[in-house]
Structure 1
Amino acid sequence: MSHAIEFNHLTKLYTNGRGIDDLNLIVKQGEVFGFLGPNGAGKTTAMKIMTGLIKPTFGDVKIFGASIQEQFVQAMSHVGCLIETAESFQYLTAYENLQLSARYYPHVNGKRISECLELTGLTKFAHEKTKKFSLGMKQRLGIANALLSNPKLLILDEPLNGLDVEGMLDMRHLIKKLSQEQGTTFFISSHLIHDVELTCNRIGIVLNSRLVSVDHTEDILRNFSSLEHYFVNEVERNGRA
């Protein structure tokens, strides 16, 4: 199995001491990788570096073998992402917002836009302006936008934010479907640990800017009653260290 993501000594430290310090990690193609940690641990910093939104102080990230710093266009050519907040043009409809994004992808046409709206449960709202959308509907649209180019890797920061129970179930099903049927790789950060447990097949925990543990979900659940208990144990153990 080839590598979808390679972190090599990735470092980005801010004056307040937060950020990422010497992060080394490999995520294989087709994996659904959960990236967990307390607030301020460095999760979003790592994801912003992966997508070129900020530059590292030291180190690099390779996506399907291409360096984010030296081969950015090639590295990002197979990536879809949703970082922090799902934004849209509120005076445009859901379809029109995706149509605007589709201009960056020559191979994306109206059929693909409609497919992404259907995948995220927005078909019946396709021609409504997004200013009327709830937080959960905006989140669905953000995920539809990330799916638009049919990427090989999806980087999702809090993808279930604002979704109701039905929406969470739909997104879990979608992630598993794309991973199993198309070999899509997912790198997911979330505070909803139960959903991560049910969705991700490998887990990494970052604490105080450093990656402190990486393990397969099935192995974690052999030794702990839930991913939540494992997470709390790792935070307490490494916090003391």
Structure 2
Amino acid sequence: MGIAMEITGLTKMYSNGRGISDLNLTVDEGDIFGFLGPNGAGKTTAMKMMAGLLKPDRGQAHIFGASVQENYVEAMRHVGCIIETAESFPYLTANDNLKQFARYYPEVDQTRIDECLELTGMLKYKHEKARKFSLGMKQRLGVAAAILSRPKLLILDEPLNGLDVEGMLQMRKLIQGMAREGTTFFISSHLIHDVELTCNRIGVVYGGKLVNADYTHNILSNYSSLENYFVSEVDRNGRL
């Protein structure tokens, strides 16, 4: 397996002291990498830089070897992402929403749209308008749009947000199934339990810094739960 994403010294600080500082991280192909931390820890800022939506003060993100900052089109060629909220056109049906996104990908046809609706549990709502959807359904439709082009890397900001228990289980199954087939995931979340169940590697972000990154099985062989690990990492960094 090669490297899907390599982040070196990525930094963006705001005048209010928020942001992310000196982020160094490698994500291997096939990883489900969980970016764990409380709201305001700098997760979204970091992900916006990874996806080229925000210019860093310094540092670089490379995706499959191409620099996001210097060669955006090449770097993002195999990337699907949802950052902050999954956008949809409220007056279009689920199907027509995906048709809009499919215009960017000549190889995506109706069969692929149906496949993505099926994968995300949205096929039965195919002809319903997005404005009627709950937050969880909008999330699922967003994921369907993000996977249309069969990306090799998916960057998802809080993908389990707003999902009910059934939705979370479906989303987890979808992510793990796609990872088995070779898709790499970079997922941010503040939901410790879900990260523990979904991700094979975890990076803890606190106060704008990555305090540690390790494999989930290593963490759970040393700690009774991810929550205990998180608290001890934060504690060890003297900022609780």
Range of TM-score over shorter length: over 0.9
1:19 deviates by 0.9
Aligned to 1:25: 25
Partners of 2:66 and 2:220 lie apart in 1 by: 34
Partners of 2:239 and 2:119 lie apart in 1 by: 44
Aligned to 2:186: 187
Partners of 2:230 and 2:143 lie apart in 1 by: 26
Aligned to 2:115: 115
Partners of 2:66 and 2:94 lie apart in 1 by: 33
- Residues 1:174 and 2:179 are matched in the alignment: no
Partners of 2:210 and 2:23 lie apart in 1 by: 6
Aligned to 2:40: 40
Under a length normalisation based on structure 1, what TM-score does the superposition of the two structures give? Answer: 0.97
1:106 deviates by 1.1
- Residues 1:75 and 2:78 are matched in the alignment: no
Aligned to 2:196: 197
Percent identity between the aligned chains? 70
What SS does the aligned partner of 2:84 have?
coil
Partners of 1:212 and 1:131 lie apart in 2 by: 40
Partners of 1:184 and 1:194 lie apart in 2 by: 22
Aligned to 1:148: 148
Larger mean CA deviation between 228-237 and 111-120 belongs to: 228-237
1:179 deviates by 0.7
Aligned to 1:12: 12
Under a length normalisation based on structure 2, what TM-score does the superposition of the two structures give? Answer: 0.98
Query: Amino acid of the residue matched to residue 148 of structure 1?
Result: L
The alignment covers a number of residue pairs equal to 240
Partners of 1:176 and 1:216 lie apart in 2 by: 16
Partners of 1:232 and 1:84 lie apart in 2 by: 25
Query: Amino acid of the residue matched to residue 119 of structure 1?
Result: L
Aligned to 2:237: 238
1:40 deviates by 1.4
Partners of 1:216 and 1:230 lie apart in 2 by: 12
| Deviant stretches of 4+, over 3 Å | none
Query: Amino acid of the residue matched to residue 166 of structure 1?
Result: E
Residues 145, 239 of structure 1: alpha-carbon distance in 2 compared, 3 angstrom cutoff? farther
1:207 deviates by 1.4
1:237 deviates by 1.7
Partners of 1:194 and 1:40 lie apart in 2 by: 19
Partners of 2:125 and 2:205 lie apart in 1 by: 38
> Once the two structures are superposed, what CA deviation does each residue of 1:72-115 show, in whole Å capped at 9, x if it has no partner?
00110100111111121111000000000000111111111110
1:239 deviates by 3.1
What is the root-mean-square deviation of aligned Cα atoms in Å? 1.0
> Once the two structures are superposed, what CA deviation does each residue of 1:90-142 show, in whole Å capped at 9, x if it has no partner?
11000000000000111111111110000000111001111111111111101
> Once the two structures are superposed, what CA deviation does each residue of 1:132-161 show, in whole Å capped at 9, x if it has no partner?
111111111011111111100000111011
What SS does the aligned partner of 2:154 have?
strand
1:205 deviates by 0.8
Partners of 1:142 and 1:118 lie apart in 2 by: 13
What SS does the aligned partner of 2:238 have?
helix
Aligned to 2:225: 226
What SS does the aligned partner of 1:239 have?
coil
Aligned to 1:85: 85
1:233 deviates by 1.2
Query: Amino acid of the residue matched to residue 58 of structure 1?
Result: R
Aligned to 1:136: 136
Partners of 1:146 and 1:12 lie apart in 2 by: 26
Unaligned runs of 5+ in 1: none
Aligned to 2:127: 127
> Once the two structures are superposed, what CA deviation does each residue of 1:47-92 show, in whole Å capped at 9, x if it has no partner?
0011111100001100000000111001101001111111211110
